[in-house]
Amino acid sequence: MFFKNPLLKKLGLSFILSLLLVLNFNITSFSQTSGEVPGSSLGFKSDADLWRYIREGNKGNTQLKNEMSAVMIQSEGDNWRSIRNGPMSRYGAYGLIGIIILLAWFYSYRGRIKVSKGFSGDKILRFKAIERFSHWLMAGSFIVLALTGLNMLYGRYVLLPVVGPETFSQVTSAGKYAHNYIAFAFMVGLVMSFICWVTHNIPSKLDIEWLQKGGGLFDEKAHPQAKKFNAGQKIIFWAVMLGGLSISLSGWALLFPYETHMMSKTYALLNMVGFNLSTDLTPLQEQQLQQIWHGIVGLVLIILIIAHIYIGSLGMQGAFDAMNTGEVDRNWAKEHHGLWVEEEDQKAKNTGKKGSVKQPAE
């Protein structure tokens, strides 16, 4: 569907299949399987009799009668490691590679979305300074958090072999502190962006029409009407707001360990709507669940933001100006947000001022 040239289509499919096979092999080589310890160690298979003696069944209890008995074997740790090093790492990598391949595919099919009538030279103010500051505070901090978070998850398999143990240790240690402290900047940007734009992102009937027409992404002659934010932008907005809130809460729990009980409270709420989850979680189990959830939400947000960055830069002509200078070309605005332009023109007419409209320089 995406490639117009059949040969390119076959080559593209072959390349993607080969890449996924190699990716699956590499990830499987370091992922934990069947709940065993990571790496090439034998784990529980190294001495079955010894491990059976230490651990009674699968309860995580030990026959050692001292204060370390509850720490010697902690079965939930096996489960946490199995999920983190297994499906979370594997499918997270599939998602990251997949979105890049999908965007490359789309670019080969559609190319850069250009302004059909060309630039008019007439500018209209789209985002005020406070809106741009909120966006870049949130976006800039998120990029740092994403890179340092990915390093924590994949760095030992991707970066370590390239830079060596000493450099990797320094980079990862610095990244850990950056991740912890820059998280607060992300939270501030998240709140500011919510306040700036929540009223413009309430779903409406226009969004259904926009989605039905694919936002005009596949047909350059079909630009559905939209106000300040279209349906696609609203989806990104609410995904970032809700996902950002969730990842901030789980991150807070990880920054201040053993002080929160958010997972057990969340389980209690889910039980009210038909789930049957145990709310009797130990502080250590709380931390393990928070870490898994933090990683999953982080990976989903990174995948979404990669698509958002593409559309706002390479994918669409004139879109980056909105968050760069705050002003966009009137022809661009009419094509993508025509109803919003009409609203702004009406405001300017009612107030008797030029308002957000700027005439081209002579």
Q: Consecutive sets of 10 residues in the chain, 362 residues long: mean pLDDT of each?
A: 48 50 48 45 52 53 50 71 92 96 93 90 95 97 97 94 95 96 98 97 94 84 87 96 97 92 93 92 91 97 96 93 95 94 90 55 40
Q: For 222-251, what is each residue's pLDDT tens digit?
A: 778 899 999 999 999 999 999 999 999 999
Give the chain as a 3 state SS string: CCCCCHHHHHHHHHHHHHHHHHHHHHHHHHCCCCCCCCCCCCHHHCCHHHHHHHECCCCCCECCCCCCHHHHCCHHHHHHHHHHHHHHHHHHHHHHHHHHHHHHHHHHHHCCECCCCCCCCCEEECCCHHHHHHHHHHHHHHHHHHHHHHHHHHHHHHCHHHHCHHHHHHHHHHHHHHHHHHHHHHHHHHHHHHHHHHHHHCCCHHHHHHHHCHHHCCCCCCCCCCCCCCHHHHHHHHHHHHHHHHHHHHHHHHHCCCCCCHHHHHHHHHHCCCCCCCCCCCHHHHHHHHHHHHHHHHHHHHHHHHHHHHHHCCCECCCCHHHHCCEEEHHHHHHHHHHHHHHHHHHHHHHCCCCCEECCCC
Q: Please state the pTM of the whole predicted model.
A: 0.81
Per-residue pLDDT, 2: 42
